[in-house]
A and B are shown apart, each in its own frame.
Chain A
Amino acid sequence: MYRCISCDKTWTHPVKKCIFCGGGIQCEIPGTMTVTGFTEVFIHSVNNEKVPYFVLLLEDELGNRYLKKTFENYSIGESFDPHEEKTSSPVFGVIGTGLLGLQICEFLITKGYSTVVKTRDGHTNHKTLSKIDDKLSRNYSPNAVTEILKKISVTTSFSDLSGCDFIIEAAPENIGVKEEIFKALSGICDKKTIFSTNSSSLSIDQLAGVTDRPDRFIGIHFFNPVKRMDLVEVVVGEKTSHETKNRVISELVDMGKKPIVVKDSPGYVVNRLLLPQINEAITLLEEGVATKEDIDNAMKLGLHHPMGPFQLADYIGLDICLSILEVLYHENKTGGKKARRSPLPAIQ
């Protein structure tokens, strides 16, 4: 709240000078506030997907009023300390500050989840925050960005992830790197912490095997761009417990996502269908059957895909496409499934 020091007029908008008397302005930061009203909202809207939630009407010692959204029940007359807000929302730990890692962090903090993000070295600490700040600034006012950024902390040490309820690992798509991360976390994190990987194709069972908690290990595969793509593949390994699966699904639904459940298998569903298609598109180009523009148009105009296979491959990144294809190829070779024709169409 901004108050004129001469005539006592107040504004919620930051003004520099009083338009009534020309007086100077002081900014009043609320200390402890009292709950003077509330409503519990049952219908959802943009950015308020999880219902019900409460909106509190708060008043500080100076009589200034504020609104605050919360998921906790407060009663009239109860005091509200903005620094010690009641919370039952889980805390997330995100490992990796690549494209998806940063997008997951941005998504989580805009949904109000406290998030600890682990980077490899200290130099990237400031860079990580400024990248997220840039993205948030496109959609939120400067004050709101400041509020949202309070939810994130950046660290280089695994030990700062010890209190997280969920870990989402979004490190490079390399089984060795990921195994090292989960080995390190196993000794550090609380027993209840659920471990998850955002891997787009690697084996959940193999990664779960290096941890001390295969029952609380699961795949949570987000899609790029995270805040706009509703789908999340929840990848269930052989030892993943029902409790872990249900907890993850319920939390994703609360965030406004639409999870599907997938058994641990190479490429899961989306990439298992997509990458062979991209591969075949490349083969078509190699054989000179059509130009890459026409192949893209074929899929866009003929099958109503928003992007053609070449456009999409560029968007995903050719390096990532290659690594997923390697996984699918390797599995086919060892599993003896190469070029196997599904019997179902023949039956029908």
Chain B
Amino acid sequence: MYIIGAGRTKFGELDASLEGLAYEAVSRAIDDSGVSIRDIEAIYISNFLGGPVNGQLHLNSMMSSLIPGCNIPIVRVETACASGSSAMNQAIIALRKFSNILVLGVEKLSGPSLIPQIDAIAMAENRTIEKENGLIFPAAYALIAQQYFKKYGISHEVLEQISFINHRNANRNPLAHFFQKNVTMDMIRSSRMVSTPLNLFDCSPLSDGAAAIVITDKKKTDRDIKILSSQIATDTISIPERKDLTTFKATKIAAKKAYAEACLTPKKIDLFEVHDCFTIGELIALEDLGLCEHGSACHLVEEGRISIEGDFPVNTDGGLKANGHPIGATGIAQIYEIVTQIRGEADQRQVVDAEYGLAQNIGGIGGTCGITILGCL
């Protein structure tokens, strides 16, 4: 199984509509793939909030309107912020039946919204336990950060560094939401409090954007990237249903299966795309993915090992924090970045000799995790 084409839009607050974003990403992925749109036999769409924000469901049929006359099977997959990796996973399973499949992730969050975006995003949480107690999304991750800080005796400073590194990487990615935004440590430290201990620069933005990939059952050219593993694991939706908030069980389970399937260990992997919807998520991901022991990820950050030049480059595109978080597109954009890096086409942010990459895509507060491992075989 191979990825033969990848394309994405710029992320940010964009004028384009849901359809406009979808069309642009699909066109770019098709142009990149060397196959025609007529060769695509099925499409999997990842989208989270088309219903509550855009008032648009039945996205598979909306997609059909963008490729008139094709009339192929199209299905939408929704697992909150992990929709991208989940759609990818389902498409891979469908390669038993089809030869060329397109996976599209798309989200339009800015502009008119049926309900306020923050309330729409809270739909990824339990609608009674979290919602009725005011534990909106940033507050849930704040509680996780508070628990992590308490358990390991660390301070907010390491999260500030994560934010800084992601913004620095995004400045090397022209398609990133915050490309060319000059972010200083002072700005990060003095940004307004959102939910203690997290401030504004711990939070990923609301972005519009789309990303698409074309997958196939046979290798066609040397630019094709091999899919070594795609795994999904789930966990309880609600925070009180978990005993330990400082680790995501779904990540550990999916990662263990994915490493086994790909016959790789974390040390063999050249770059990681992790789900930093909040900076604390990145810290926990480094540990859950086995890059270091629990409680010691702060050292990886402080020693510069997660920078593009380090031995564990993380979120080379800027991550969700600075590349942006168009929710349905996020998981596909992570895969787009790894494909670009392994192909050696990442320009300013290229990781030297990148051969293997791993993407970790989280839904909700760790209720879903999709892990994808790609390589240049």
Could you list which residues of chain A lie within 8 angstroms of chain B, going by C-beta atoms? 10, 12, 36-43, 45-48, 53, 55, 57, 63-69, 76, 140-141, 143-144, 147
Instruction: Mark each residue of chain B from 101 to 142: 1 if its CB lies under 8 Å from any CB of chain A, else 0.
Output: 000000000000001101100100011111111111011001
Excluding A39-B196, A41-B136, A66-B240, 5 further A-B contacts by CB distance (< 8 Å) are A40-B196, A43-B194, A45-B122, A57-B239, A67-B129
A46 adjacent to B119 (CB under 8 Å): yes
Could you list 24 examples of A-B contacts with CB < 8 Å? Answer: A12-B241, A37-B150, A38-B143, A39-B196, A43-B136, A43-B138, A46-B115, A46-B119, A47-B131, A48-B134, A55-B135, A57-B143, A57-B147, A57-B239, A65-B239, A66-B240, A67-B239, A67-B240, A68-B133, A69-B132, A69-B134, A69-B135, A140-B132, A144-B132
Does chain A have a CB within 8 A of B161? no
Size range of the chain B interface in the assembly: 35 or more
Q: How far is the CB of A207 from chain B (nearest CB, A)?
A: 37
Does chain A have a CB within 8 A of B146? yes
Q: Assuming the A-B contacts A12-B238, A45-B116, A55-B139, are A67 and B130 also in contact, with contact meaning beta carbons closer than 8 angstroms in the complex?
A: yes
CA A206 to CA B243, docked complex, whole Å: 61
What are the residues of chain B within 8 A of A41 when measuring CB–CB? 134, 136, 138-139, 142, 194-195
CA A65 to CA B126, docked complex, whole Å: 15
CA A47 to CA B135, docked complex, whole Å: 11
B118 adjacent to A45 (CB under 8 Å): yes
CA A47 to CA B131, docked complex, whole Å: 9
Does chain A have a CB within 8 A of B193? yes
Does chain A have a CB within 8 A of B268? no
Does chain A have a CB within 8 A of B299? no
What are the residues of chain B within 8 A of A45 when measuring CB–CB? 116, 118-119, 122, 134, 136
Does chain A have a CB within 8 A of B192? yes
What are the residues of chain B within 8 A of A47 when measuring CB–CB? 131-132, 134
Instruction: Mark each residue of chain B from 323 to 354: 1 if its CB lies under 8 Å from any CB of chain A, else 0.
Output: 00000000000000000000000000000000
A40 adjacent to B195 (CB under 8 Å): yes
What are the residues of chain A within 8 A of B194 when measuring CB–CB? 41-43
Q: Assuming the A-B contacts A42-B192, A43-B194, are A37 and B240 also in contact, with contact meaning beta carbons closer than 8 angstroms in the complex?
A: no
Which of B116, B131, B135, B239 is most buried by chain A, counting CB atoms within 10 A of its CB? B135
A57 adjacent to B240 (CB under 8 Å): yes
- A39 in complex: contacting residue of B118, B126, B143, B238, CB < 8 Å: B143
Which of A39, A41, A53, A55 is most buried by chain B, counting CB atoms within 10 A of its CB? A39
CA A147 to CA B131, docked complex, whole Å: 14
A12 adjacent to B240 (CB under 8 Å): yes
Could you list which residues of chain B lie within 8 angstroms of chain A, going by C-beta atoms? 115-116, 118-119, 122, 126-136, 138-139, 142-143, 146-147, 150, 192-197, 238-243, 245
What are the residues of chain A within 8 A of B130 when measuring CB–CB? 67
Q: How far is the CB of A54 from chain B (nearest CB, A)?
A: 9
Q: How far is the CB of A156 from chain B (nearest CB, A)?
A: 32
Q: Assuming the A-B contacts A12-B129, A12-B241, are A48 and B136 also in contact, with contact meaning beta carbons closer than 8 angstroms in the complex?
A: yes
CA A41 to CA B140, docked complex, whole Å: 10
What are the residues of chain A within 8 A of B197 when measuring CB–CB? 39
- A67 in complex: contacting residue of B127, B133, B142, B195, CB < 8 Å: B133
- B143 in complex: contacting residue of A37, A43, A63, CB < 8 Å: A37
A67 adjacent to B193 (CB under 8 Å): no
- The residue on B at minimum CB distance from A1 is B240
What are the residues of chain B within 8 A of A40 when measuring CB–CB? 193, 195-196
- The residue on B at minimum CB distance from A64 is B240
Q: How far is the CB of B195 from chain A (nearest CB, A)?
A: 5
Q: How far is the CB of A277 from chain B (nearest CB, A)?
A: 32
Q: How far is the CB of A3 from chain B (nearest CB, A)?
A: 12
What are the residues of chain B within 8 A of A55 when measuring CB–CB? 133-135, 139, 143
What are the residues of chain A within 8 A of B126 when measuring CB–CB? 12
A38 adjacent to B146 (CB under 8 Å): yes
CA A273 to CA B146, docked complex, whole Å: 53
- B118 in complex: contacting residue of A12, A43, A66, A67, CB < 8 Å: A43
Q: How far is the CB of A15 from chain B (nearest CB, A)?
A: 13
- The residue on B at minimum CB distance from A63 is B243
Q: How far is the CB of A256 from chain B (nearest CB, A)?
A: 13
What are the residues of chain B within 8 A of A68 when measuring CB–CB? 133
Q: How far is the CB of A122 from chain B (nearest CB, A)?
A: 32
Which of A53, A55, A66, A141 is most buried by chain B, counting CB atoms within 10 A of its CB? A55
CA A69 to CA B129, docked complex, whole Å: 11
CA A63 to CA B244, docked complex, whole Å: 12
CA A82 to CA B131, docked complex, whole Å: 19
Q: 7 closest A-B pairs (Cβ-Cβ)?
A: A65-B240, A39-B142, A69-B134, A67-B133, A40-B196, A69-B133, A48-B134
A42 adjacent to B146 (CB under 8 Å): no
What are the residues of chain B within 8 A of A66 when measuring CB–CB? 240
- The residue on B at minimum CB distance from A143 is B128
B238 adjacent to A37 (CB under 8 Å): no
What are the residues of chain B within 8 A of A147 when measuring CB–CB? 132
What are the residues of chain B within 8 A of A57 when measuring CB–CB? 143, 147, 239-240, 245
What are the residues of chain A within 8 A of B132 when measuring CB–CB? 47, 69, 140-141, 144, 147
CA A12 to CA B132, docked complex, whole Å: 14
What are the residues of chain B within 8 A of A141 when measuring CB–CB? 127-128, 132
- The residue on A at minimum CB distance from B122 is A45
What are the residues of chain A within 8 A of B133 when measuring CB–CB? 55, 67-69
A53 adjacent to B129 (CB under 8 Å): no
CA A333 to CA B47, docked complex, whole Å: 65
- The residue on B at minimum CB distance from A66 is B240
Q: Assuming the A-B contacts A39-B142, A67-B133, are A144 and B195 also in contact, with contact meaning beta carbons closer than 8 angstroms in the complex?
A: no
CA A144 to CA B116, docked complex, whole Å: 22
Q: How far is the CB of B121 from chain A (nearest CB, A)?
A: 10
Q: How far is the CB of A237 from chain B (nearest CB, A)?
A: 36
B139 adjacent to A39 (CB under 8 Å): yes
- B195 in complex: contacting residue of A10, A42, A143, CB < 8 Å: A42
CA A12 to CA B136, docked complex, whole Å: 19
CA A67 to CA B194, docked complex, whole Å: 19
What are the residues of chain A within 8 A of B138 when measuring CB–CB? 41, 43
